[in-house]
Chain A
């Protein structure tokens, strides 16, 4: 082997990795990182149009999608609402994405959000007179810890007994809903004068402050976007750092890629699994806290609004990368906000958004399908994301 045979090869390869390589360190091709998600969204909107045609007729498609677009992206209020709705999606999406990186499928984000939102509210209605600088972080931490608890249970069960997280997290979702209903009726938590399960209002010092009210536009005081969005972006960066820049993140990904190899490489697989689920639960818990301390200001049954399930789509669409999750969350936030406007302005119900979201997951999870439809050529897709029943 002489130098001459190697040199020409090196010339062909780019010396500096492009941004695609930096964003997706595992040699994922351009087409599967960007083209497939975009085509998936497009295809889902096309199939969604077919549903509108079947239920409301051909003429309803354009007005419905126009309302969807305008309601979510045109004007300061629309943008503020879209980002507001996307904040909890970012937290929940990061939760599921972190699990995927370690081959753990966390469909319990909904329950973790429920508990996290609840613990945040409990702190948020206590400690009257505490300054906001202390109270708000304290409430957020409480939300994080509530989620941590709800992530720890499936984590330790998976690590120690092999109980599959898909089943345990779904069951814990139901248990979380019941726990919420029970605790909301405890006198200390329940709103005064109410007999239904609903909490007191979170004290002002624990509420997430609005951040766009200073804008020099008309109606700026009505813009509801709050600090939660900034926190979400910061947390996304932290998750990125953990996953790709820290040793523990490397262990997570190694455990996800090949647990036996990680074990023989001297990594503590058991504690990595528990830690991933704990962090995933904490992230979802922050998402719940973001809702109860932010736009809702209290907790009530069903406050999570299926966000924990949308999170699965977000993680897939964002390719389990924090940056991708943020972008996917803003897209889904736009769909949700635009869907509300669509429901008001046209006869098309907001449940269409759920169908569109499910279709996006189908297309994103089945890249081979998208490649077949649009004849996109490309590299190898990442294979299995999750693991079966046996440990």
Chain B
């Protein structure tokens, strides 16, 4: 019998131990997958282009060596995960692992060819933007304990308003209108969830269905007949940030993007500072963790929740404008295609922290751009399966990490003042 129980050692909950075990076994299985699929029988070198000019900053590796390296790393990660786990670093390790897996996948797909990695990473940042805005909106709401499933609807409302107002009054007002539309949706969510104490998840889904119905109705009623007058807002071009864009590699990826991406950086920085360094942030987090205690010390729980949820809606609405003003240039029915829900997964993966949310959004953006790239590379994999990639990654991420994260303690519970 094991009489001596490590008293000094941190005792993990059984569910957590089991989850760590599943994750560890998954890593080892993936090591085998990488070895047998990507390493065995793969020949040729792959050249990743990192610079603007041909031949500039290229690096060439053997696709087989890359796959073997990846397999070894995965086997190591699996072993470590099984033996001691990564504790608070689990999500970061998982994100890196997903990236590495994708990298060796790319190497296998492009063996004997070259591919523009820098272009792909730039696309990653761009595709991550709407997911990041969704995730940040979620962070705003859930830090005050209001679950926001309605992000998808807010993105869609923003996309629609951005297209129409953008066409009629120019992109600046279009963006503001989009944010306003998201804010309105969030106000509806706030009233339902805070005042009428509707089940928050249902209220959010209602917002999504309502936004889908409303934008489809208005689009069919007006935009189809008069596309040129109402649905041609144009796309905002990239802006080069003078000095920063000249940094090799990173400059091209991060600082040669359109305005949405820069607002995303500012929001992540601003929210991180705001939530953890200011009085507002402390009060908001108190409302989310223990509303009764917050109320006792004189914080107006209801007002804090209303304001933050509406701010979250403004962020999501702004992010929605990215679809029409930032990438496609016109509104299509249901064009958000689940990005709001992926944003929620990013929020969970990022542990309700703005920086984590951005990091998670980048992982999803990478899966998205990988899918685009593999479609071009003609690997023989049917396009339908490639298009599944972002959704599969979302499921893996949510299944792999959710139990290890801790949402704000009062998340999802309406507050009833006594």
Q: Is B210 an interface residue (CB 8 A)?
A: yes
Q: Is B10 an interface residue (CB 8 A)?
A: no
Beta-carbon contacts of B179-192 to A below 8 Å, as 1s and 0s?
00000000000001
Contact B198 A167 (CB under 8 A): no
Contact A174 B391 (CB under 8 A): yes
B352 to chain A, nearest CB (A): 10
> Which residues B389-410 have CB closer than 8 A to chain A?
391-392, 394-395, 398-400, 402-403, 405-407
Q: Is B337 an interface residue (CB 8 A)?
A: yes
Contact B398 A163 (CB under 8 A): yes
Beta-carbon contacts of B131-154 to A below 8 Å, as 1s and 0s?
000000000000000010100000
A192 to chain B, nearest CB (A): 21
Q: Is A164 an interface residue (CB 8 A)?
A: yes
A391 to B402, CA, bound (A): 9
A181 to B382, CA, bound (A): 10
Q: Is A105 an interface residue (CB 8 A)?
A: yes
Chain-B contact segment, one of A130-138, A246-254, A355-363? A355-363
A61 to B399, CA, bound (A): 49
Q: Is A175 an interface residue (CB 8 A)?
A: yes
Contact B399 A168 (CB under 8 A): yes
Q: Name B344's contact: one of A167, A358, A387, A391 (CB within 8 Å).
A: A167
Q: Name A365's contact: one of B15, B199, B338 (CB within 8 Å).
A: B199
Dominant secondary structure of chain A at its interface with chain B: helix
Contact A349 B221 (CB under 8 A): yes
Q: Is A161 an interface residue (CB 8 A)?
A: yes
A69 to B198, CA, bound (A): 31
Contact A163 B387 (CB under 8 A): no
> Which residues A332-391 have CB closer than 8 A to chain B?
349, 351-352, 354-355, 357-359, 361-362, 365-366, 368-369, 372, 383-391
A354: chain B residues within 8 A (beta carbon): 209, 212-213, 216-217
Beta-carbon contacts of A34-53 to B below 8 Å, as 1s and 0s?
00000000000000000100
Chain-A contact segment, one of B53-61, B200-208, B252-260, B321-329? B200-208
Contact B198 A171 (CB under 8 A): no
Contact B407 A362 (CB under 8 A): no
Among A312, A351, A368, the most chain B Cβ lie within 10 Å of the Cβ of A351
Q: Is A187 an interface residue (CB 8 A)?
A: no
Contact A171 B411 (CB under 8 A): no
Q: A164-B398, A167-B341, A351-B216 are in contact. Are A388 and B391 (CB under 8 A)?
A: no
Looking across the interface, which residue of chain B has its beta carbon closest to that of A368? B196
Contact B216 A388 (CB under 8 A): no
Contact B213 A351 (CB under 8 A): yes
Contact A164 B402 (CB under 8 A): yes
A325 to chain B, nearest CB (A): 16
B367 to chain A, nearest CB (A): 12
B341: chain A residues within 8 A (beta carbon): 166-167, 170-171
B206: chain A residues within 8 A (beta carbon): 358, 361-362, 365
Looking across the interface, which residue of chain A has its beta carbon closest to that of B202? A365
Q: Is A157 an interface residue (CB 8 A)?
A: yes
Q: Is A162 an interface residue (CB 8 A)?
A: yes
Q: Is A269 an interface residue (CB 8 A)?
A: no
Looking across the interface, which residue of chain A has its beta carbon closest to that of B406? A390
Q: Is A179 an interface residue (CB 8 A)?
A: yes
A93 to chain B, nearest CB (A): 14
Contact A357 B209 (CB under 8 A): yes
B334 to chain A, nearest CB (A): 10
B279 to chain A, nearest CB (A): 27
A107: chain B residues within 8 A (beta carbon): 205
A53 to B214, CA, bound (A): 15
Q: Name B22's contact: one of A161, A182, A349 (CB within 8 Å).
A: A161
A316 to B398, CA, bound (A): 27
A362 to B192, CA, bound (A): 8
Q: Is A178 an interface residue (CB 8 A)?
A: yes
Contact B210 A161 (CB under 8 A): no
Contact B203 A365 (CB under 8 A): yes
Q: Name A174's contact: one of B344, B388, B398, B411 (CB within 8 Å).
A: B388
Contact B192 A351 (CB under 8 A): no
A220 to B403, CA, bound (A): 58
B80 to chain A, nearest CB (A): 20
Q: Is A271 an interface residue (CB 8 A)?
A: no
Contact A365 B210 (CB under 8 A): no
> Which residues B211-227 have CB closer than 8 A to chain A?
212-214, 216-217, 220-221
A390 to B385, CA, bound (A): 31
A316 to B199, CA, bound (A): 11
A51 to B199, CA, bound (A): 26
B192: chain A residues within 8 A (beta carbon): 362, 365-366, 369
Contact B391 A366 (CB under 8 A): no
B387: chain A residues within 8 A (beta carbon): 178
A369: chain B residues within 8 A (beta carbon): 192, 196, 198
Q: A384-B412, A388-B411 are in contact. Are A171 and B384 (CB under 8 A)?
A: no
Q: Is B345 an interface residue (CB 8 A)?
A: yes
Contact B209 A309 (CB under 8 A): yes
Q: Is A55 an interface residue (CB 8 A)?
A: yes
A387: chain B residues within 8 A (beta carbon): 412
A312: chain B residues within 8 A (beta carbon): 202, 205, 209
Contact A168 B395 (CB under 8 A): yes
Q: Is B113 an interface residue (CB 8 A)?
A: no
B407: chain A residues within 8 A (beta carbon): 388-390
A179 to B403, CA, bound (A): 29
A57 to chain B, nearest CB (A): 13
A385: chain B residues within 8 A (beta carbon): 199, 201-202
Contact B209 A182 (CB under 8 A): no
Q: A107-B205, A171-B338, A358-B206 are in contact. Are A178 and B385 (CB under 8 A)?
A: yes
Q: Is B290 an interface residue (CB 8 A)?
A: no
Q: A167-B345, A170-B338, A358-B213 are in contact. Are A157 and B395 (CB under 8 A)?
A: yes
A142 to B46, CA, bound (A): 45
Contact A161 B399 (CB under 8 A): yes
Q: Is B19 an interface residue (CB 8 A)?
A: yes
A8 to B18, CA, bound (A): 57
Q: Is A172 an interface residue (CB 8 A)?
A: yes
B197: chain A residues within 8 A (beta carbon): 368, 383
Q: A161-B403, A368-B196, A389-B407 are in contact. Are A166 and B338 (CB under 8 A)?
A: no
B413: chain A residues within 8 A (beta carbon): 384, 388
B221: chain A residues within 8 A (beta carbon): 55, 349, 351
A355: chain B residues within 8 A (beta carbon): 210, 213-214, 217
Q: Is B348 an interface residue (CB 8 A)?
A: yes
Q: A55-B221, A174-B388, A182-B382 are in contact. Are A163 and B399 (CB under 8 A)?
A: yes
A349: chain B residues within 8 A (beta carbon): 217, 220-221
Task: List 17 other contacts, CB 8 Å, given A167-B341, A309-B209, A386-B201.
Answer: A105-B205, A157-B399, A160-B18, A160-B22, A161-B22, A161-B403, A171-B338, A175-B388, A182-B382, A355-B210, A359-B210, A361-B205, A362-B206, A366-B196, A368-B197, A383-B197, A385-B199
| A-B pairs with lowest CB-CB distance, top 9 | A354-B213, A351-B217, A388-B412, A358-B210, A182-B384, A162-B403, A163-B399, A171-B391, A368-B196
Q: Can you give 8 contacting A-B residue pairs, CB < 8 Å?
A: A166-B341, A174-B337, A174-B391, A178-B388, A354-B212, A368-B195, A384-B199, A385-B201
